[in-house]
Structure 1
Amino acid sequence: MATITVTKISRVNPATNSSHDTTNSLVLPLTFFDLRWVKFHPTERVIFYKLDKDNSSRESFHSLILPKLELSLSAVLRHYLPLAGRLRWDPQDTKPHILVLPNDSVKLIVAESDADFSIISGKGLRPETEIRSLVPEFPVACDSPSVLALQVTLFPNQGFCIGVAAHHSVMDGKTVVRFIKSWAHLCNHETMSLPENLTPFLDRTVINVPASLDAKILEILLYFSEEKEDVRSLKLPPMEKISPEVVRITLELTPENIEKLRERAKKESTRSQLHLSTFVVANAYLWTCLVKTRGGEVDRPVRFMYAADFRNRLDQPVPETYFGNCVFPLGCYGYKAGVFMGEDGFVNSVEIISDSVKGIASNNIEALCELYVDGTKRVKPGTQSGSVAGSNRFGLYTADFGWGKPVNSEIVSIDRNEAFSMSERRDGPGGVEIGLCLKKCEMDLFISLFKNGLDN
């Protein structure tokens, strides 16, 4: 087991911004799209960077690399000011808000690991407890939690990684990745200015949905709350300790794999109007493998969840660089495991997810919210709930802080439920990279199903 030693804990303040009067506070209300995630565990991610011989010593790291990271972090927080704040829910308010006070800051932990960097940053099987130690612990028992925590870990003479823990009600995956890419840009170019495609859009009035939907989502929060008596509590559900039996792997579906699966779906389905995007095909395949891995009774209930981006799906489009959440959870509810466990499991999964994705275009946000609330209330105890985090369109592998692009990136927070992560592949166009955490005995079966299904 690798040893992690904390060498420094600091608070990084946003650089002075003449457009924001530092004697005043900033209040940013949560929107409809933020509210679903108020009781959700933080989004956690780790990005690995290999260093060359000249830069990887302790001396070089602490005298050159760390000061650059800290300086550029302060600079990027000037643009992403809400990340220095905290969540608050005052008695007179109908919903929470982000509050940034003068001198607010972000906690940055600096640590050192004696792990083998090539293994822990690789794609093979790794103990999840070692990956989890690379992201900072997030305060779950706090009624006014901070919204971001960071950890930089050095692997002497090998490389370093950046661990990010962000409150999901403040940023969706696209915003988290844009923040990382913005930080990398300022560090690499030693500037204080961001290009337009990385500059966050902070105006909340662009989220134009009926106000009545806020109440619907706040009502459903009770289903995710440990504190039924205090609906306004911002404490997160307690996080279970990760079993030492849990391992992580990173797999790939190449463009050739995706095309092969697409052709298989066309051949096996009796329907002609399927939506066969990479997202649909990859998720259908992974979900089928996951249900088969669990095995058990064919009548047991299962559901698959994903978050759809609504930046281009509202009546008034939302800017791509919008800061916050503009995703909403959608689900495939009411199915039994047997639908996915037979020879036709993959094509059934393709048809179900295809119908769900096509349904986004034919339903407005009110109807989709109703479907989500109703589906959530009908979930039976013991349901196998699978989900996907991330996207193959975020472009995180372009985040170069000045020492080359990442060698790997992992969404750590998938280790708490049956979720897999999805991103673009590092070393080639098209296809997807998939992260997954399971107990070792389950993982062996999953890998076997995954590889055999592609070979056959």
Structure 2
Amino acid sequence: MVNFNSAVNILEVVQVSPPSSNSLTLPLTYFDLGWLKLHPVDRVLFYHVPELTRSSLISKLKSSLSATLLHYLPLAGRLVWDSIKTKPSIVYSPDDKDAVYLTVAESNGDLSHLSGDEPRPATEFHSLVPELPVSDESARVLAVQVTFFPNQGFSLGVTAHHAVLDGKTTAMFLKAWAHNCKQEQEALPHDLVPSLDRIIVQDPTGLETKLLNRWISASNKKPSLKLFPSKIIGSNILRVTYRLTREDIKKLRERVETESHAKQLRLSTFVITYAYVITCMVKMRGGDPTRFVCVGFASDFRSRLNPPLPPTFFGNCIVGSGDFDVKAEPILEEGEGKGFITAVETLTGWVNGLCPENIEKNMLLPFEAFKRMEPGRQMISVAGSTRLGIYGSDFGWGKPVKVEIVTIDKDASVSLSESGDGSGGVEVGVCLKKDDVERFGSLFSIGLE
């Protein structure tokens, strides 16, 4: 039976350090600095393992986490920015007893309910992810929480500072940790060993300095790592997962090919899925057709740079794109999926603009755009990706039955990931008020008929 009044009890908080290792200082790049004061990214992975005991679970996770941190030393460290340093750096020092804080908890809730697709209160997930301590001069990089559900399984909550690692690095770390837990003494595969080289990121235009100056201006003219405040989430916000099957995506792609007169459209799974979600979101809100909508997404630039960065580059290498002033009217247009076609054509233009020459413009634009936007403007953005392979995180007890990005309830973003069943579909996560859930769900279903 579903326990809607479930409680999560913290049993202990332990420090997990890598095996004996040297200290490390890793400066942030401009890719990192673009996310300096934005909220961390919270993920929770659910595993259904009824026969598992808490003692064996925690023992294996702790020892494998320690082994993994030897390759991912920055995650055991702190982000540091004081008045002496010109820019923030990640510092790991065994002398300062730097470590990852691992919270061990137990819940009497229903794991199947939490890991389902149906509407669930967004606040139910907050107690499954740990917080990151942040001050003006220092911030923890990573925190982990293991919540045991007796006779059901466990959840793994991971909170990552966005200025230190992007989704690809987070997924790489989780799969490396899972590998070490499952395979124990077997060496990490090459594609899970991170590259910590920062010299390869060139900054010919001084973008780092421009970003730092803007962050300092936003922090009372002084260096500060304190994050922008996040909005308080009430009990009226529901988390829901919608799914597009491989066949759904194929039909939507064929609809664009038939109805659009534009040439050389980008019809990737991402473009088709996000365009469909944008269409449903804008129509869900309705309202004045002359209103503006802010639409954005972030793209991995590792392979887009010249020369490219290695696929295993540690840190951020994502750049935002989109438009802060999208007109709602063309997307609201009815008849033969015209709004969806418009969204695909618009997204194509943004994807075509993903080139190194536009990095500086795209990274500096938000500072000015957010100042002039009117309150209440609809904002749509993406968290996650269908290419991260996050469902490959098998710690030895099988793949996760569900992965959620908890923080989408803070910034009106939608989460995208590959389907956990390996069918080639896409999972779309949203957090909305009850009435909006009903409207969005109806639009989502009708558009696929």
TM-score, normalised by the number of residues in structure 2: 0.94
| Paired position in structure 1 for 2:88 | 96
Instruction: Look up the match of 1:442.
Output: 436
CA distance in 2, matches of 1:313, 1:373: 24
Q: Which residue of 1 aligns with 2:132?
A: 138
Contact 1:88 1:96 in 2 (8 A): yes
- 2:37 paired with 1:44: no
* Paired AA for residue 48 in structure 1: F
Partner residue in 2 for 1:13: 17
389, 405, 410: which one aligns with 1:416: 410
Counterpart CA distance in 2 for 1:160 and 1:12 is 19
Q: Distance in 2 between matches of 1:362 and 1:204?
A: 17
Provide the residue aligned with 2:281 in structure 1. Answer: 290
C-alpha separation between the residues in 2 aligned to 1:362 and 1:148?
Answer: 29
Shift of 1:441: 1.4
Contact 1:150 1:162 in 2 (8 A): yes
User: What is the rounded CA distance, in whole Å, between the counterparts of 1:288 and 1:435 in structure 2?
Assistant: 15
* Coordinate RMSD, CA, aligned: 1.8
TM-superposed CA distance for 1:125, in Å, is 1.5
Once the two structures are TM-superposed, the CA of residue 403 in structure 1 deviates from its matched residue by: 0.5
Q: 1:219 to 1:429 in 2, by over 3 A?
A: farther
Q: Aligned partners of 2:367, 2:8: CA distance in 1, in Å?
A: 42
Say if 1:124 and 1:142 are closer, same or farther in 2 by CA, change over 3 A.
Answer: farther
Residue 258 in 1 paired to residue 249 in 2?
Answer: yes
* Mapping 1:8-407, distance limit 5 Å: 8-17=12-21, 21=22, 25-53=23-51, 55=52, 60-62=53-55, 64-102=56-94, 103-141=97-135, 143-191=137-185, 193-221=187-215, 225=218, 227=219, 229-343=220-334, 344-361=338-355, 363-369=357-363, 375=369, 379-407=373-401
State the distance in 2 between where 1:255 and 1:393 align.
Answer: 15
CA gap 1:377/1:339 in 2 versus in 1, 3 angstroms: farther
Change (3 A) 1:373 1:265: farther
Name the CA distance, whole Å, in 2 between partners of 1:255 and 1:363.
34
* Deviation at residue 14 of structure 1 after TM alignment: 1.1
Superposed structure 1 runs of 4+ greater than 6 Å apart = none
Deviation at 1:336, TM superposition (A): 2.3
The amino acid that maps onto 1:96 is P
Confirm or deny: 8 A CA contact 2:82 2:137 kept in the other structure: no
Offset of residue 431 of structure 1: 2.6
Letter in 2 for 1:408: K
Matches of 1:398 and 1:362, distance apart in 2: 31
Q: Distance in 2 between matches of 1:378 and 1:86?
A: 34
Contact 2:42 2:160 in 1 (8 A): yes
Listed one character per residue, the Cα deviations across residues 339-397 of structure 1 (whole Å, up to 9, x for unaligned) are 32122221111111110001114845345446666655654443211101111111111
Task: Look up the SS of the partner of 1:205 in the other structure.
Answer: coil
Retained in 2: the 8 A contact 1:209–1:365?
no
Which AA in structure 2 matches 1:7?
Answer: L
Aligned to 1:4: 8
Q: Shift of residue 446 of structure 1?
A: 0.6
Distance (Å, rounded) in 1 between the aligned partners of 2:175 and 2:423 = 19
SS at match of 1:37: coil
**Unpaired segments of 5 or more residues in structure 2?**
none
Structure 1: gaps (5+ residues): none
Count residues with an aligned counterpart: 440
Q: Is the 8 A contact 1:45 1:165 kept in 2?
A: yes
Range moving further from structure 2, 152-161 or 205-214 = 205-214
Q: Is the 8 A contact 1:422 1:434 kept in 2?
A: yes
Shift of 1:191: 2.2
Q: Is the 2:78–2:140 Cα contact (8 Å) retained in structure 1?
A: yes
**1:222-270 CA-partner distances (Å, limit 9, x unpaired):** 68x4x3x144111112233211011111111111111111122222222
Give the whole-Å Cα distance in 2 for the aligned partners of 1:47 and 1:392: 16
Counterpart secondary structure, 2:414: strand
Amino acid at match of 2:163: S
| Aligned partners of 2:136 and 2:223 also within 8 Å | no
Q: CA deviation at 1:169?
A: 0.3
State the one-letter code of the partner of 1:3.
A
Q: Judging changes above 3 Å, is the alpha-carbon distance between structure 1 residues 399 and 90 closer, same or farther for their aligned structure 2 residues?
A: same
Kindly provide the amino acid, as one letter, of the partner of residue 32 in structure 2. D
> What is aligned with 1:429?
423
Task: Judge conservation of contact 1:332–1:352 (CA < 8 Å) in 2.
Answer: no
Question: Which deviates the most, 374-383 or 188-197?
Answer: 374-383
Contact 1:140 1:238 in 2 (8 A): no
Q: Distance in 2 between matches of 1:414 and 1:72?
A: 29
Alpha carbons of structure 1 residues 220 and 71: separation in structure 2 relative to 1, 3 Å: same
Is the 1:331–1:372 Cα contact (8 Å) retained in structure 2?
A: no
Q: Give the 3 Å change call, closer, same or farther, for CA 361–428 of structure 1 in structure 2.
A: same
Retained in 2: the 8 A contact 1:140–1:236? Answer: yes
CA distance in 1, matches of 2:396, 2:76: 24
State how far apart, in whole Å, the 1-side matches of 2:412 and 2:359 are. Answer: 27
Q: Partner of 1:360: helix, strand, or coil?
A: coil
Query: Alignment partner of 1:410: what SS?
Result: strand
Q: Distance in 2 between matches of 1:308 and 1:401?
A: 28
Structure 1 pair 432–220 and aligned structure 2 pair: CA distance change class (3 A): farther
TM-score normalised by length of structure 1:
0.92
Q: Which amino acid aligns with 1:78?
A: L
